[in-house]
Chains A and B, each alone.
Chain A
Amino acid sequence: MVEVSRRTVLKGAGALGASMLPVAAVANAAEAQDAHGHMAQAAPASPQAAPASTPAPSPAEPTTYLFLNSDEAAFIEAAVARLIPKDDQWGGALEAGVPNYIDKQLAGAWGAGERLYRSGPWMPGTPTQGYQLPFTPAELFRTALRAINAEQAQHRFADMSAEEQDNYLKTLQDGSSKDLGGIPANVFFSQLFQSTLEGFFSDPVYGGNKDMLSWRMIGFPGAYASYYDLVDQHGIKLDRAPTSLAENARGHIMVNPGIPARSP
């Protein structure tokens, strides 16, 4: 696998125009020489097969941002890379395709306010009463990101050092009095981190958790359906590649981020 530094990737994306060829796609293109390895190792039948700790790179999947504009994408890509960074063993949120996950969620039903009660009047409420802003998730991200990017017109988040980025994210996290176009900064941060967590750990069918990176990292077997014969083998080390509900019989991941949140 070719190492692509985050700095290189981000600069490349900026030069090309993020809306057409986003960061994740650039990174994937660099990794694509090991393409198709995933298919060969997919879906082992027994717990002993296929070590879970070797992520198999999958083919490049150029993503097109449907919701985020280039400025928004630049912030999201840089921010998620700090919220869940890559380390010497495992990729982070950027490598897992979390910006793509967030983009598709914001572009779809969830972004539009699915499962959000949206009648006024609107009042701030107490912390125990939960989210009380009129913004849908799509409106929340768009509004907050516009405020952030306006604030950083001279020194963009994506161009900061990692330490500067972390400090800025902390000001958002602690910033209940910091206003982002009517959204308290801590509310935006909390949603940004929750979305990052979802994109990192959810099934790859939603366009994040690429190659089930996070599941391999912690040893979660994914959508596997039965442990009847294993549950009383106390302490057994389950060393098997995880499975996704998006996998077809050949091990292809069939991405479908538009699954609605309603009962079957």
Chain B
Amino acid sequence: MADVLPSVDVITIGVGLTGAMAGLELAKLGLKVVGLERGSPRDTVPDFQSPAIHDELRFSIRKAMMQDNTKVAVTFRNSSDQTALPVRRWEGFLPGQGLGGAFVHWNGQTYRAQVADFIYRTHLIQRYGEKFLEACGPELTIQDWGVTYDELEPYYDRFEYLCGVSGKAGNIKGQTQPGGNPLEAPRAREYPTPPMKEPYFAAIFRKGAESLGYHPYPQPSANLSQPYTNPEGLELQQCVFCGFCERYACEHFAKASPQTIVLPKLLKMSNYELRCNCEVLRINLDSTGKKATGVTYIDAAGREYEQPADLVLLTAFSLNNVRTLLLSKIGEPYDPKTGTGVIGRNYAYQTTGGATVFLDESINVNPFMASGANGTIIDDFGGDNFDHSQLGFIGGQYVGAIVTNGRPIEFHPTPPGTPTWGLQWKKAVVQHYNHTIAVQQHGTSTASRLNYLDLDPTYKDAWGQPLLRMTFDFPDNDTRMSQYVADKVVQIGNAMGGKMVVRGGTKRPYNSTVYQTTHNCGGAIMGADPRTSAVNRFQQSWEVPNVFSIGASSFPQNFTYNPSGTVGALAYWTLDAIKNQYLKSPGPLVPS
């Protein structure tokens, strides 16, 4: 039976980005905070050191930093008439594990969403009308977030300064800034640090995009262009473009991660306690089912504990937040047949694509000289930045040359028609390796009533609990969108001087064996209506007000950009609401 431990004020389930941020903000108030992390403790020194960290096989191919799927996997199917089967090896998306979470091995691409993204349904109906939206797909279930860009702007700002993001503003308080993204939402001030150096592949893209009249800008990066001290007094260093960023930890203290921006301060606080290798089985509720009493977890030695707490924060990866809510029976599970229920509703992803641009062999791209976020991109086809009225779809994508590495097990492009092995294949690899640029498309994922998360009826984790079941395919709207942008990317590839440009663009069915992104989002979405959202605009459970679920699981659908910047902003927004409202008067922050 479980040992019952002395009660604490706050538990965070997961100590990645949001768990570390919550720990620090709430421990600063003097609260007793416990962080429960299922993975191991780890730090820049001694765990992330060169040269061992520069091991493509271990980290990229064998997924060393990812969730231990021998214990907890996910099951997957494209549609609800299929039988979901376990994702037996991580391939299509890669949930992280370990202290610091996925924010240790992320690429550092740190964007804001746009004004229209937060009022997506309202905005689209205003601009195009209800009929247009209905024609894009009757199955689409997009909705507003319940929070606006203007409300989040100060929290975006604070998060960017926590990370020290390197970039160039394109719009400061409505004034267009040369060199930045003229299409971005207005920001209060410049980025904390200037943009990174522009690598060759990015410069080639810039020239091509400019020649077509587009508006290239440097990708905002949490791998820093220069040394920086953040508001918590923690120092980051300059990125050296080692080419081992995504799927790797940074040995140079140059990437914003919990280990560089939060934890050194947090772990010194006597009222904060970190417990690693602890698997939370569930949040416990009292007899009313309306109040959480704490959590039950199992430590590395298999001992079961009950940890009582006044406030429980779900700060795990989006999929794990949703699974814990389902296992804890907090909120009504979504039923795709009736469209009722909220937990698991509006699971969304990211619609990607891209072209491969084969250049003349006189051009040395040197793809291995790269950081995780040193691209040059355009927003001309992002979100609703272009007129959709004649296009028959909603949404869009940013487009950019974002080469993050030249690691050869993963990167060895050959033109179509090349044999897949043998002498001709080998010669083609040699011929094109250093003379090819992948141009990416990265964009909106429209929520659909057909896509959702629930508990698998068959497959279990190492503790005998059901795995999370993912039912997902790209809505036709999103493949139409991606194919439209793919045409534009071919034109850009030609303008970049491509001798051959291989068109990409997303097609159905979604394939869980091909890596696309780990921007899994939704499933415990925020909103203004408890019938269509799991959490209110402060990411507080409608049903159990002393539980908050923080992260990309709150996104009602996915916008054009990488999610981390918005996850950080939402975390600060929620933590402010907890500090300034909830703790003064514990209870629902929004009447249901």
A residues near B, CB below 8 A? 82-85, 87, 90, 92, 110, 113-119, 121, 123, 125-132, 166, 169, 173, 193, 197-198, 201-203, 205-206, 214-215, 217-228, 230-232, 234-238, 243-245, 259-264
Contact = CB atoms under 8 A, between A and B. Distances in A.
Given A201-B409, A218-B430, A223-B51, A263 B42 contact: yes
B513 A228 contact: no
A128 B509 contact: yes
B340 interface: no
A226 B42 contact: no
Given A110-B62, A117-B88, A227 B412 contact: no
A223 B430 contact: no
A107 to B, nearest CB: 15
B513 A87 contact: no
Given A117-B73, A128-B511, A261-B62, A227 B57 contact: no
15 contacts: A83-B421, A117-B70, A166-B422, A203-B56, A217-B430, A218-B408, A218-B412, A219-B433, A225-B240, A227-B366, A235-B364, A236-B364, A245-B50, A245-B55, A259-B58
Contacts of B61: 198, 202
A205 to B, nearest CB: 7
Contacts of B73: 117
B249 to A, nearest CB: 7
B240 A226 contact: yes
Contacts of A115: 62-63, 68-70, 89-90
B242 A263 contact: no
Contacts of A83: 421-422
B199 interface: yes
B1 interface: no
A205 B54 CA distance: 12
Contacts of B62: 110, 114-115, 261
A193 B51 CA distance: 27
Contacts of B458: 121
Interface stretch (B9-17, B78-86, B134-142, B494-502): B78-86
A57 to B, nearest CB: 20
B426 A84 contact: yes
B510 A128 contact: yes
Contacts, number: 202
A119 B86 contact: yes
Contact of B408 (A129, A201, A234, A244): A201
B370 to A, nearest CB: 8
Interface string B36-59: 000110100001101111111110
Contacts of A232: 197-199
A125 B409 contact: no
A256 B328 CA distance: 44
A128 B51 contact: no
B368 interface: yes
A202 B82 CA distance: 37
Contacts of B469: none
A231 B64 contact: no
B369 A227 contact: yes
B460 A198 contact: no
Contacts of A201: 56, 408-409, 412
Residue of A206, A219, A244 with most chain B CB atoms under a 10 A cut-off: A219
Interface string B286-304: 0000000000000000000
B57 A202 contact: yes
A130 B422 contact: no
B91 interface: yes
B554 to A, nearest CB: 26
B367 to A, nearest CB: 9
A132 B366 CA distance: 38
Given A202-B409, A260-B64, 6 more contacts: A117-B70, A121-B458, A128-B509, A218-B434, A261-B62, A263-B42
B200 A235 contact: yes
B180 interface: no
Given A226-B241, A264-B249, A132 B88 contact: yes
B459 interface: yes
A223 B429 contact: no
Instruction: Count chain B CB atoms within 10 A of each CB in A92, A130, A244 and give the residue with the most.
Output: A130
B65 A125 contact: no
A131 B69 CA distance: 14
Contacts of B64: 260-264
A197 B88 CA distance: 21
Contacts of A259: 55, 58
B89 A238 contact: no
Interface string B408-440: 110010000000111101110110011000000
A98 to B, nearest CB: 12
Contacts of A261: 58, 62-64
B98 interface: yes
A234 B58 contact: no
